[in-house]
Amino acid sequence: MYKSVETLLVQIPTIRPHKMAVATMQTQTLVLVKITTEDGYVGWGEATTIGGLGYGEESPESVKVNIETYFAPLLKTLSGLNVAQTLRAIKKNINGNRFAKCAIQTALLDIQAQRLNQPLSEILGGHLRNSVPVLWVLASGNTEKDIAEAQKMIAAKRHNIFKLKIGSRPVEQDVEHVLAIKQALGKDISIRVDVNRAWSELDAIKGIQLLQDGGIDLIEQPCAIDNLDAMRRLTQRFDIAIMADESLMGPQSAYQIARQHGSSVFAVKVAQSGGLIEGCEVAKVAQLAGIDLYGGTMLEGPVGTIASAHAFSTFESLAYGTELFGPLLLTEDILKTPLQYQNFELEIPKGPGLGIELDENKIDNLRRQ
């Protein structure tokens, strides 16, 4: 049934250095998975991560090796099964590897949706919105450059919400940088910060108090991945929204955080969740626990971005919007028709499957040999 399963590492420079507490990116390595069936369908998935092993537990290289060594041979033995049965067999035979599992699942769902002649969102339960709001991340590392970049985005009606990457400088310096940007952009522009787990609990108490007083709207992943107790104490101590990102690793960890109300918002990432279906399950746990939702990214290219958009389009509420801007951070597009970003939102394609067409010549030129 499956003729081939290919994993391609596609290296694309970013439009400027993207500075985060965990890594500074000058290029992004997209991890693309292409599954071809015996009867001629082609499905795409993505397992992109950030900063090699700096962010998650899988690197582009480990995803490629694991898919080629374990997932692809297994898939070739699974014929005549539906998507759910195939995913169950994968889970039974392969531990962990959430990013690789997400890419494989996305490609399988892309194929299945094409067979049914429906957009991918429809086999995840159905879309509730045709587009999703998209914020922009200011991470040049320079206050003046960030302000100019934000003003350009607002004028072009591309983004009117901004997330600032902090955590690599002392708390006071980071706060000064954030509040200068908030003041320059004005009270109607929502500013959030992502600490990428760089603060101790005491740093967080100091920093969050100052940012809350300065009118900032949300604090993302202030403390260490495993320090769920600190996340819970901070959520209870402050009025400002505290969002779990790296700590959220799928439905089980969503449940663990939700049962103690360890954050007020969840950043749902399909790769961190282990798949689109699991991303929707994380959202359901949040909804049941009264936790707000935000659609996160691993700075994927167009495949992972639009797959995430299909999943997020099914969420009943998406109070904090999304950060599905990954393709806009790259200097090259790998689609025949670019994704549609307009009026501060990303349109969700209406064609069958993912609803995008990849430019395979371009991919061939950009891929690591």
Using CB under 6 A as the criterion, which residues of the chain lie in contact with ligand MUC when the complex forms? Answer: 20, 50, 137, 139, 194, 196, 245, 296-297, 299, 323
Total interface residues for Mg ion by CB under 5 A: 3
Q: Which residue is nearest to Mg ion (CB)?
A: 245
Q: Quote the CA–CA distance of 166 and 17 in Å, as a whole number.
A: 14
281 binds Mg ion (CB under 5 A): no
- Taking the complex as a whole, the smallest distance from the CB of residue 324 to ligand MUC amounts, in Å, to 10
For ligand MUC, the closer of residues 222 and 262 by Cβ is 222
DSSP class of 129: -
In the chain the beta strands, taken as DSSP E runs, fall at: 2-19, 24-37, 42-46, 131-133, 136-138, 161-165, 190-194, 218-220, 241-244, 265-268, 292-295, 341-342, 345-347
Q: Is 187 exposed, middle or buried (0-12, 13-18, 19+ CB in 10 A)?
A: exposed
For ligand MUC, the closer of residues 114 and 227 by Cβ is 227
- Taking the complex as a whole, the smallest distance from the CB of residue 305 to ligand MUC amounts, in Å, to 11
- Taking the complex as a whole, the smallest distance from the CB of residue 135 to ligand MUC amounts, in Å, to 9
Task: Give which of 92, 100, 22, 24 is closest to 61, Cα–Cα.
Answer: 100
- Taking the complex as a whole, the smallest distance from the CB of residue 185 to ligand MUC amounts, in Å, to 18
For ligand MUC, the closer of residues 139 and 150 by Cβ is 139
Binding site partner of 268, from ligand MUC, Mg ion, none, Cβ cut-off 5-8 A by kind: none
Residues 6+ apart with CB under 8 A from 204: 195, 219, 222, 223, 230, 234
Binding site partner of 278, from Mg ion, ligand MUC, none, Cβ cut-off 5-8 A by kind: none
Q: Quote the CA–CA distance of 97 and 91 in Å, as a whole number.
A: 10
Which residue bears the tokens 């090259």? 332
245 binds Mg ion (CB under 5 A): yes
Binding site partner of 299, from Mg ion, ligand MUC, none, Cβ cut-off 5-8 A by kind: ligand MUC
Residues with active-site annotation: 165, 323
In 10 A of CB 36, how many CB atoms?
16
Residues 6+ apart with CB under 8 A from 364: none
Q: In what order do the strands lie in the sheet with 345-347?
A: 131-133, 345-347, 341-342
Binding site partner of 137, from ligand MUC, Mg ion, none, Cβ cut-off 5-8 A by kind: ligand MUC
- Taking the complex as a whole, the smallest distance from the CB of residue 21 to ligand MUC amounts, in Å, to 9
194 binds Mg ion (CB under 5 A): yes
278 binds Mg ion (CB under 5 A): no
300 binds Mg ion (CB under 5 A): no
Contacting positions for Mg ion (CB under 5 A): 194, 220, 245
